[in-house]
Amino acid sequence: MNPELIDSLIVKNDTKIVFLIMDGLGGLPNAETGLTELEAARTPNLDCLAKRFTCGLLDPIGYGITPGSGPAHLALFGYDPVKNNIGRGMLEAAGIDFPMIENDLMIRVNFATMDKEGLIVDRRAGRIDTETNQRICKKLQDHIQLSADVKIFVKPVKEHRALLVVRGKNLRDELQETDPQKTGISACPPKALIPEAKATEEILADLLERAGRLLADEEKANTLLLRGYAKYRRFPRMEERFGLKALAIAGYPMYRGVARLLGMTIGGSVTTPEDIISVLRQQYAAFDFFFIHIKQTDSRGEDGLFSEKVKVIEQVDAVIPHILELKPDVLAVTGDHSTPAAMAAHSWHPVPIVLAANTCIPDRVARFGERDCLHGGLGRMPMMHLMGVALAHARRLGKFGA
Amino acid sequence: MNPELIDSLIVKNDTKIVFLIMDGLGGLPNAETGLTELEAARTPNLDCLAKRFTCGLLDPIGYGITPGSGPAHLALFGYDPVKNNIGRGMLEAAGIDFPMIENDLMIRVNFATMDKEGLIVDRRAGRIDTETNQRICKKLQDHIQLSADVKIFVKPVKEHRALLVVRGKNLRDELQETDPQKTGISACPPKALIPEAKATEEILADLLERAGRLLADEEKANTLLLRGYAKYRRFPRMEERFGLKALAIAGYPMYRGVARLLGMTIGGSVTTPEDIISVLRQQYAAFDFFFIHIKQTDSRGEDGLFSEKVKVIEQVDAVIPHILELKPDVLAVTGDHSTPAAMAAHSWHPVPIVLAANTCIPDRVARFGERDCLHGGLGRMPMMHLMGVALAHARRLGKFGA
């Protein structure tokens, strides 16, 4: 089933939907206890939801596929993550909240070190600090002027990483990346891969030449490598597709960026449970859909810190009663993907979900955990269909056919 | 999800994957005991795997679809079995290990009996024995010479069945089958169904005429009927798609044939557990992926021999510790389809699987059987996605998106 099938079934309603997303929620058993992070956590409120309502497991992309955060969030919001795969440059731009417009070409930049023969000796310029990065980006921004029709934006990201946005007409992203992927050889030229990209190739070659001259006296970051070319792509907004006025409460830029691409309003960059609840309370009347993003479950998982991830889950559990006080018509608590501490990385495993609504199909799950969710009333389903299920429970979907 | 999505995510690793396939593994309850073949079998080693790792059920093709062995094996190896449906002629050629090349036209042949009026009186030539078949094939092979550009190969299969391969240029398979499907009427001409197949029609008509003259004095097999035309089709190799050097250990030609089509190396035609383990040990260092095929589960099922099928499963169970000694990173034990002794035929029922890897999502299954696998951590999934899951557990798949 195409997740866009629901778009034509949308009906108006004033119900409220809350998605509480613990990034990287899913885990794997601890070698000693045999329990996953979620199973080990004391979660009386989530368990109560599991008991009263319905559970399941969500596959973010597909069997065996480990998702990046971009595609996983698109799936959560009802967008086919494969058909809507965001180019890396665009995700980088979203990640720093860069205000992209139609036709922009976004490019990831790695500052790098080149020797006198022009060979790349360090593809990350010794991981220069972010301050140096900021200084160099400013230098490039201030001193490079291309033709009258073409504007560029050079924005620092972190350490050796930056964002280059080229704004102009007829730009294309079918170009060879210049990162040679190993050291001891020259950077590649930004060669057009199709004839239509020739003009863009020339713009970038010009830009690289000017940048090379400007950076010649830098100790480490004396050149730049271009990767992840991505033309701006407009995603249909959640309001257009689902009639939902959506608010994002997310502390990290990348998630705010993805939310903005889907037309969500950004409701403050907050991270503590108190602040999240406070923003939710303040904005509750003005929106239909609320995306609350908790980053720390993923960060602790990526750091391999099992007990720390357990603690974050317990902190989030404590927030649940405050959300329930607002009486949302649908509350979904889940993750965007799994990040087992045992793997210290994102993984392909399906993600537990508990969905609370008055119209839930009953199951016998009494606790919120991976093993329990296997037997949940939602079964195991592709993540991109969660939005349809949420809209149905919110009585925002009409009948298909007569 | 398209199973080819994983192809772009492949990363190098030196992990090992073993697929132990019991052909026709799935069964149905015995009328007396209420237990299936697998449930009735004493399988301490498989049960131990089920307890420690994860179980599930695989749908070979789709709901209600009973697979042939060709499509079922394609699904096991990560090929969409519907999109990659092998033409019957090609499957027949694979079945006898015929070395097909690009542009070959493969055709199934039934030897048949024709009366003096030219009407088909027996579509199977009284099921002549295989020796007669061999003699007749040799006669045709030795005495038929077509034009200089066209070579033919006539290979006996079994009883009244043979394989005809036409090797030449611009051959097409869009032709009418000549088997009239009933007796008392003439064979059909091999009529071109599209103009481009006209030249092939002429080649086959010429061939049939010469064959008719050569066979005129045969008592039973005095004519041939042509079916299942299939142009050779190249399948992307497992090494191209997944970066896997694959070894097939299979005692039956047809499975070796399918394995060869996917680029697997054929590791000896062995059938006894000792020989299988011996080949596996010898070749273990040289390959990444091992396909072990056990035919007898299916044969006993097709013969309706419940207890005999149980015995074969128990023999395979005894092999498990020897495989585990090699410490594969991923071991999947499953079937290609179900062959319940109660039906004495292939069936559409999903097939139990146990998958052993260090990164398995936990479940509560403690025994390897159809009913137990229903509650497994893999859930119920399309068979064609097993390869993606196996590659993920073998840490041979990178992240999708950023």
For residue A342, the chain B residues in CB contact (below 8 A) are 359
Average confidence score pLDDT of chain B: 95
SS3 of residue A58 by DSSP: strand
Q: Which amino acid is at A194?
A: I
**Digit-coded pLDDT (tens) for B338-386:** 999 999 999 999 999 999 999 998 899 999 999 999 999 999 999 999 9
SS3 of residue A217 by DSSP: coil
**Digit-coded pLDDT (tens) for B143-194:** 999 988 999 999 999 889 999 999 999 999 999 999 999 999 999 999 999 9
Quick check: is A355 in a domain? yes
B227 and B239 assigned to the same domain: no
pLDDT in the model for residue A133 = 95
Phi and psi, residue A375, nearest 5°: -105, 20
> Among all chains, which residue has been given the structure tokens 């029922």?
B349
Quick check: is A401 in a domain? no
Determine the Cα–Cα distance for residues A48 and B99; give it in Å rounded to an integer. Answer: 63
Distances in Å between the Cα of B133 and the Cα atoms of A217, A357, B120, B153, B283 are 84, 69, 18, 14, 37
Question: Is the sign of the CA dihedral B164, B165, B171, B173 positive or negative?
Answer: positive
A 10 A CB-CB count for B392 gives 22
pTM for the model: 0.90
A 10 A CB-CB count for B116 gives 5
B246 and B203 assigned to the same domain: no
Contact across the interface for B385 and A88, Cβ inside 8 Å:
no
Sheet containing strand A246-250, strands side by side: A265-266, A246-250, A289-294, A17-22, A330-334, A351-356, A54-59, A379-382
Quick check: is B340 in a domain? yes
pLDDT in the model for residue B61 = 97
Quick check: is B400 in a domain? no
B339 and B351 assigned to the same domain: yes
Q: Using the 8-state DSSP alphabet, how is residue B312 labeled?
A: H
Contact across the interface for A346 and B399, Cβ inside 8 Å:
yes
Q: CB-CB: which of B381, B386, B400 is closest to A65?
A: B400
Range of the domain at B240: 3-86+235-393
B388 and B245 assigned to the same domain: yes
Q: Name the minimum distance, in Å, from the CA of A71 to any CA of chain B.
A: 6
For residue A233, the chain B residues in CB contact (below 8 A) are none
Q: Which amino acid is at B59?
A: D
Q: List, in sequence order, every residue forming a beta bridge with A187; answer none if it has no partner.
A: none
**Digit-coded pLDDT (tens) for A305-335:** 999 999 999 999 999 999 999 999 999 999 9
Confidence of residue A94 (pLDDT cuts 50, 70, 90): confident
A356 and A248 assigned to the same domain: yes
Confidence of residue A118 (pLDDT cuts 50, 70, 90): very high
Q: Name the minimum distance, in Å, from the CA of B384 to any CA of chain A.
A: 10
> Among all chains, which residue has been given the structure tokens 């066209």?
B150
B243 and B139 assigned to the same domain: no
Q: CB-CB: which of B361, B379, B393 is closest to A370?
A: B361
For residue B359, the chain A residues in CB contact (below 8 A) are 28, 340, 342-343, 347, 349
Last residue of a domain, one of B177, B198, B231: B231
B79 and B154 assigned to the same domain: no
Determine the Cα–Cα distance for residues B332 and B385; give it in Å rounded to an integer. Answer: 13
Determine the Cα–Cα distance for residues A173 and A177; give it in Å rounded to an integer. Answer: 10
pLDDT in the model for residue A87 = 85
Pairing of strands B54-59, A120-122: unpaired
Closest CA to B272 of B312, B331, B324, B328: B312
Determine the Cα–Cα distance for residues B130 and B114; give it in Å rounded to an integer. Answer: 20
A102 and A197 assigned to the same domain: yes
Closest CA to B84 of B74, B72, B93, B94: B74
Q: Which chain A residue lies closest to B7 (C-alpha atoms)?
A: A65
**Mean pLDDT of all residues in B4-17:** 96
**Digit-coded pLDDT (tens) for B204-231:** 999 999 999 999 999 999 999 999 999 9
Q: Is the pLDDT of residue B402 over 90?
A: no
Pairing of strands A351-356, A330-334: antiparallel
Burial (CB count within 10 angstroms: exposed 0-12, middle 13-18, buried 19+), residue A39: buried
B243 and B162 assigned to the same domain: no
A217 and A260 assigned to the same domain: no
B295 and B358 assigned to the same domain: yes
Domain of A226, CATH number, reads 3.30.70
Whether the Cβ atoms of residue B201 and residue B190 lie closer than 8 Å to each other: yes
Q: Which amino acid is at A121?
A: V
B65 and B107 assigned to the same domain: no
Last residue of a domain, one of A211, A231, A251: A231
Q: Name the minimum distance, in Å, from the CA of B54 to any CA of chain A.
A: 11
Quick check: is B110 in a domain? yes
Domain of B45, CATH number, reads 3.40.720.10
Whether the Cβ atoms of residue A366 and residue A53 lie closer than 8 Å to each other: no
Average confidence score pLDDT of chain A: 95
Q: CB-CB: which of B2, B9, B362 is closest to A29?
A: B362
Last residue of a domain, one of B231, B247, B276: B231
Quick check: is B398 in a domain? no
Contact across the interface for B401 and A63, Cβ inside 8 Å:
no
Quick check: is B272 in a domain? yes
User: ∠ CA(B370), CA(B374), CA(B376), 5° rounding?
Assistant: 110
**Mean pLDDT of all residues in A96-106:** 92
Q: Cβ neighbours of residue B111 under 8 Å, at least 6 residues apart?
A: B124, B125, B128, B133, B136, B160, B161, B162, B220, B221, B223, B224, B225
Quick check: is A270 in a domain? yes
Q: How many domains does chain B have?
A: 2
**Digit-coded pLDDT (tens) for A125-182:** 998 999 999 999 999 999 999 988 999 999 999 889 999 999 999 999 999 999 998 8
Q: Is the pLDDT of residue B318 over 80?
A: yes
Contact across the interface for B390 and A64, Cβ inside 8 Å:
yes
